[in-house]
């Protein structure tokens, strides 16, 4: 039976690719997609979730719920330079030869239930079964813990795309975006006693999608591959400029892939905490991956990836 999953996302470009991979993975049953602010304002996230689902034309589509529109404590800070003004590589401005918008405003089917309530309700329905895959700032997750920590401990696990342990950060020398955007929420999650799997930059920087591969599949004319080409164009340009690579990292799809096949990654147990006080180090994830001396482990941290197997999985399910 497919594993029941809620995908919590601040739908930017790689989040959209994560939605595609999740929805195209028969091992997973996507119970709901919940939006949270992060890469882009919440309203954009909600629109981008629907644009992505419309590309798939999935019947029936999963429940979609609106979550938190600001971090617990920190000021809002978006990532428009990476994900575009619309959060989706500016595909919403893209026009065809006749001047019609290629990705017009979608009809939104947003649940009347708030994301936090929906998460808690689904755990009650499927105790010890549900996996939460969180690929944005952890604000919704922390709010759910603040509301009912006992219920949240009945999650099977939370797979978190976030953190940077033995590699540098991407918003500061030491901090990764999702954790940095709401470090207080991340520390609440670390302290909650829920089984956690961190999929940090250490692993996701090994999950690389080559621009030539995107073009090769898009050239075949399929709607999914064309969408991947359209929404990643700006994201790839950012990577070219800032990282000197011709392609992009698949941060959020890797977190979904771990829910599909955990054997794709190597994990080590560790006690993970988040710096919430430092001026220079806010949002840094702190753990000693060499040993367990730094407290009782509260998480497993992905350190290495079977690059070939992951790439094959992503290409077959999302691009082909
Ligand atoms: C994470 O930050 C966001 O910009 C991406 O969507 C991903 O979830 C990578 O640091
Ligand atoms: Ca994300």
Query: pLDDT tens across 214-270, in order?
Result: 999 999 989 999 999 999 999 999 999 999 999 999 999 999 999 999 999 999 999
Question: Residue 1 — very low, low, confident or very high, per pLDDT cuts 50/70/90?
Answer: confident
Q: Which residue has the tokens 């001026």?
A: 279
Predicted model pTM: 0.98
- Name the residue with the closest Cα to ligand 1, atom 4: 39
Query: Ligand 1 pocket, 202 CB below 6 A?
Result: no
Q: Point out which residues pair with 208 in neighbouring strands.
A: 249
Tally the C-alpha atoms within 13 A of residue 269's C-alpha that lie toward its C-beta: 7
Non-local CB neighbours of 61 within 8 Å, separated by 6+ positions: 53, 109
Query: Ligand 1 pocket, 252 CB below 6 A?
Result: yes
Q: Which of 44, 50, 239, 251 is catalytic?
A: 251
Q: Which domains are seen in the chain, by residue range?
A: 3-319 (3.90.245.10)
For residue 161, the ligand 1 atom closest to its alpha carbon is: 8
Q: Residue 52: is its pLDDT beyond 80?
A: yes
Whole-number Cα distances in Å, 137 to 70, 133, 157, 225, 226 = 10, 12, 17, 27, 28
Q: Which residue has the tokens 């404590």?
A: 73
State the pLDDT at residue 266: 97
Report whether the peptide linkage leading into residue 60 is cis, meaning its omega lies within 30 degrees of zero: yes
State the pLDDT at residue 132: 98
Query: Ligand 1 pocket, 9 CB below 6 A?
Result: no
Question: Residue 279 — very low, low, confident or very high, per pLDDT cuts 50/70/90?
Answer: confident
- Of the chain, the percentage scoring pLDDT greater than 70 comes to 100
Over residues 34-63, mean pLDDT: 95
**Burial class for 104, CB neighbours closer than 10 Å (0-12, 13-18, 19+):** exposed
CA of 99 to the centre of ligand 2 (A): 31
Distance CA 9, CA 50 (A): 12
Tokens of 31: 């119970």
Closest to 21 measured CA to CA, from 318, 320, 240: 318
Cβ-based neighbour number of residue 2 at 10 Å: 11
**pLDDT tens digits, 171-218:** 999 999 999 999 999 999 999 999 999 999 999 999 999 999 999 999
Indicate the average pLDDT of the chain. 96
The answer to whether 44 is a known catalytic residue is: no
Distance CA 119, CA 140 (A): 9
- Coil, strand or helix: which one is 28? strand
Q: Point out which residues pair with 210 in neighbouring strands.
A: 247
Pairing of strands 299-305, 265-270: antiparallel
**pLDDT tens digits, 60-91:** 899 999 999 999 999 998 988 899 999 999 99
- Name the residue with the closest Cα to ligand 1, atom 2: 177
State the pLDDT at residue 292: 66
CA of 133 to the centre of ligand 2 (A): 11
For residue 204, the ligand 1 atom closest to its alpha carbon is: 9
CA of 179 to the centre of ligand 1 (A): 9
For residue 252, the ligand 1 atom closest to its alpha carbon is: 8
Residue of 7, 8, 10 to mutate, ligand 1, most atoms within 8 A of C-beta:
10
Query: Ligand 1 pocket, 161 CB below 6 A?
Result: yes
Q: Residue 55: is its pLDDT beyond 90?
A: yes
Query: Ligand 1 pocket, 87 CB below 6 A?
Result: no
**Residues present in the chain in total:** 320
**Burial class for 114, CB neighbours closer than 10 Å (0-12, 13-18, 19+):** middle
Mark out the alpha helices in the chain (DSSP H runs): 13-23, 42-56, 80-83, 115-125, 139-147, 149-152, 177-181, 183-190, 201-204, 211-218, 223-243, 251-260, 307-314
């Amino acid at each position: 039976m497919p594993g029941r999953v809620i995908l919590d996302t601040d739908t930017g470009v790689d989040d959209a690719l994560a939605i595609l991979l999740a929805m195209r993975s028969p091992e997973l049953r996507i119970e709901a997609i919940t939006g949270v602010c992060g890469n882009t304002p919440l309203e954009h996230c909600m629109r981008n979730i629907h644009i992505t689902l419309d590309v798939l034309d999935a019947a029936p589509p999963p429940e979609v719920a609106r979550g938190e529109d600001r971090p617990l404590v920190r000021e809002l800070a978006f990532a428009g330079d990476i994900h575009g003004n619309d959060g989706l590589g500016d595909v919403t401005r893209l026009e065809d030869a006749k001047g019609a918008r290629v990705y017009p405003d979608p009809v939104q089917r947003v649940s009347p239930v708030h994301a936090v309530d929906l998460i808690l309700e689904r755990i009650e329905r499927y105790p010890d079964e549900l996996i939460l895959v969180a690929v944005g700032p952890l604000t919704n997750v922390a709010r759910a813990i603040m509301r009912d920590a006992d219920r949240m401990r009945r999650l099977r696990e939370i797979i978190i795309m976030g953190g940077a342990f033995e590699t540098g950060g991407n918003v500061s020398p030491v901090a990764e975006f999702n954790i940095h955007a709401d470090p207080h929420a991340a520390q609440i999650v670390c302290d909650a006693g829920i089984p956690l799997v961190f999929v940090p930059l250490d692993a996701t920087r090994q999950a690389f999608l080559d621009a030539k591969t995107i073009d090769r599949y898009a050239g075949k004319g399929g709607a999914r591959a064309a969408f991947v080409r359209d929404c990643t164009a700006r994201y790839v340009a950012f990577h070219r400029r800032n990282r000197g690579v011709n392609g992009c990292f698949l941060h959020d799809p890797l977190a979904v892939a771990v829910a599909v096949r955990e054997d794709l990654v190597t994990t080590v147990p560790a006690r993970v905490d988040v710096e919430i006080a430092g001026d220079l180090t806010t949002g840094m994830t702190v753990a000693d991956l060499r040993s367990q001396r730094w407290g009782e482990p509260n998480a497993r941290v992905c350190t290495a990836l079977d690059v070939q197997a992951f790439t094959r999985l992503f290409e077959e399910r999302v691009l082909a």
